[in-house]
Chains A and B, each alone.
Chain A
Amino acid sequence: MTVSVKEIIELAPHNLLWASGALLFAASLAWSRRIGQARSLLWGALRMMLQLLAVGYALRWIFAARHPLPTLLMLLVMGGFALQIMAGRLRHKLPGFYRIVSTSLLAGCGGITLYFCLLVIGPSPWYDPRYLIPLAGMIIGNSINGACLAVERFAAEMTERRAEIETALCLGASCRMACQGPLRNAFQAALLPSINTMAAMGVVSLPGMMTGQILSGTDPLTAVKYQIAIMCAIVGSVALTSALLLLQGYRAYFTEAHQLRC
């Protein structure tokens, strides 16, 4: 089985300029037809470019350093940003937010990332940033999305289904039993995007990571194997992080005496 392995075509600055032409065209159309969003589009694109360039230089430096400390630092920064993004969406919906979310992220995303890197791929050295950082990025990115969906759904259901929950409490249910319905629906909301993505994968969409590997000259079958492995890790982490978050978070809605907090 031989596949000709070619080096990827390097993009020169003028190539990037041409690429941004697509976006500039869309923005100018939006501006000239007065349908709005032109400014947001341009600002978003500028931000994206700067963030990516910065991370590109940082990664180049971390890869060259070959030391666990910068890698760890990078992971911490990523985790910190994840926490901030979630705080913006969820802080008011979950009492005790920081403690619950940080432990769930650490155990869910951190646990799965380490398990995956050390046991499934096993790079040497074990902290090889070329594997650890991009994998952690994909795992965290998907997990915070799932976790946000879970908490948002749970918070909404706890308000909507108040009568049901109090009825259950009055009939002698523990708070865990009383919010079984909201927990189930919240967990489903967290997993639905992952399950849909898996269903569409390969049939409708070629996933980004696989596309990237193929573009850089990797044998498609190797890329597919990586994609299968990373999808398992991502979905596992989405499920684990959301479940930990929900199973700790529901308690925040109740007192020790199985009473709903107002």
Chain B
Amino acid sequence: MSSPAAAVLRIEGLGKNRVDEQGSQVAVLRDVELSLFAGRITVVIGPSGGGKSTLIRLLNRLEEASKGRVLLDGQDIRRYDPLQLRRQVALLAQKPFVFSGTVLENLQRPFQFQGRIPPPGNDPQLRELMELCQLPVSWLQRDAGSLSVGQQQRLCLVRSLATGPEVLLLDEPTSALDRPTVDGLAVSLRAVCRKRQLAVLLVTHDLHLAEIIADDLAYLEDGRILEQGNAAEVLGRPRTPALQRFLTPPTRERN
């Protein structure tokens, strides 16, 4: 947690209210404080419905926060053009979505969206990234829709990173994947995070994934961060009863 480098992304007192069915305001996130650093993976764990996805959606402004602020390289994200912001803060959704067309066409889409020249299939940077993420180069001409869910998630990862963001946000990226696939993806993520000096935030309720991938860890329940710090320390000596409950019976969380 106590990295000497300046945080790439700083979350300060972030809160989000929603209007429930009765029409009253309900806080889904309260006073969240969190920092992301280059080359480090921060994992937010916690039970479903605790506000994890909402947190992620506030950071690239898919939604607007109700309170607090988020600083990217020291500047409030509300002062960025939203389109520019999303080019620097990539978000990988829970369910991979591939556009119709080949793998290469999918990888070229973000460049077209951003008004940039799409790289050809033999672009060395693109190939290096594909290798890091274990997406075989021989698949470039395959129909993206024919890939398995795990393969599509890899494709989406490469697609998000191809345009060179600083920050990568992942929302339960492994919820549709089996254990070996999760492990493979975790290896790729670690490699790409180190190599590209990405600041990574991953939210999940999958304790196994958190254990194998996190550098820093925060526990989020009912919209509040109850504990955070170095991943090994937090997981090794949970202080709050809530986190102890979340960690102890592993059978309860495996649904």
**Chain B hits for A259, CB < 8 A:** 61-64, 82
Residues in A whose Cβ lies below 8 Å from that of B82: 257-259
Contact B64 A257 (CB under 8 A): yes
Complex contacts, B93 vs chain A, CB 8 Å: 163, 166-167, 170
Q: Given known contacts A177-B113, A257-B61, is B83 in contact with A170 (CB within 8 Å)?
A: no
Whether, in the assembled complex, B243 has its beta carbon less than 8 Å from a beta carbon of chain A, the answer is no
**Cβ-neighbour of A172 out of B62, B63, B95, B114 (below 8 A):** B114
Q: Hey, what's the 0/1 contact readout for A236-262 against B, CB within 8 Å counting as 1?
A: 000000000000000000010111100
A160 within 8 Å of B (CB atoms) = no
B204 at the interface (CB under 8 A from A): no
In the complex the two chains form, is A163's CB within 8 Å of B95's CB? yes
Contact between chains at A170 and B64 (CB < 8 Å): no
Per-residue 0/1 for B16-35: is the Cβ within 8 Å of any A Cβ (1 yes, 0 no)?
A: 00000000000000000000
Are the CB atoms of A171 and B110 closer together than 8 Å? yes
Contacts of B85-122 to chain A: CB distance below 8 A: 86-87, 90-93, 95, 97, 99, 109-110, 113-114
Residues of A within 8 A of B90 (CB): 170-171
B137-164: CB near A (< 8 Å → 1, else 0) gives 0000000000000000000100110010
Interface string of A53-85 (1 = CB under 8 A from B): 000000000000000000000000000000000
Residues of B within 8 A of A170 (CB): 60, 62, 86, 90-93, 160
User: Are B99 and A169 touching (Cβ within 8 A)?
Assistant: no
How many angstroms between the C-alpha atoms of A166 and B93 in the bound complex? 9
Inter-chain contact B163/A172, CB cutoff 8 Å: yes
CA–CA, A154 and B239, complex, Å:
51
Residues of B within 8 A of A171 (CB): 86, 90, 109-110, 113-114, 159-160, 163
A107 at the binding interface (Cβ < 8 Å): no
Q: Which residues of A contact B163 (CB under 8 A)?
A: 171-172
Q: Which of A167, A171, A172, A260 has the most CB of B within 10 A?
A: A172
Q: Give the chain B neighbours of A169 by CB distance below 8 A.
A: 62, 86
Chain A CB count within 10 A is highest, among B82, B87, B91, B95, for: B82
Cross-chain contact B160 with A172 (CB below 8 angstroms)? no
Q: Is A28 on the interface with B (CB-CB < 8 A)?
A: no
Whether A23 is near chain B, meaning CB under 8 Å from some CB there, is: no
Q: Judge if A173 is at the interface, Cβ distance under 8 Å.
A: yes
Question: Contacts of A258 on B, CB cut-off 8 Å?
Answer: 82-83
Q: A142-194: which residues lie under 8 A (CB-CB) from chain B?
A: 163-164, 166-174, 177
The answer for the CA separation of A170 and B114 in the assembled complex, in Å, is: 11
Assembled-state Cα–Cα distance A257/B97 (Å): 22
Which residues of B are in contact with A by a Cβ distance under 8 Å? 60-64, 82-83, 86-87, 90-93, 95, 97, 99, 109-110, 113-114, 156, 159-160, 163
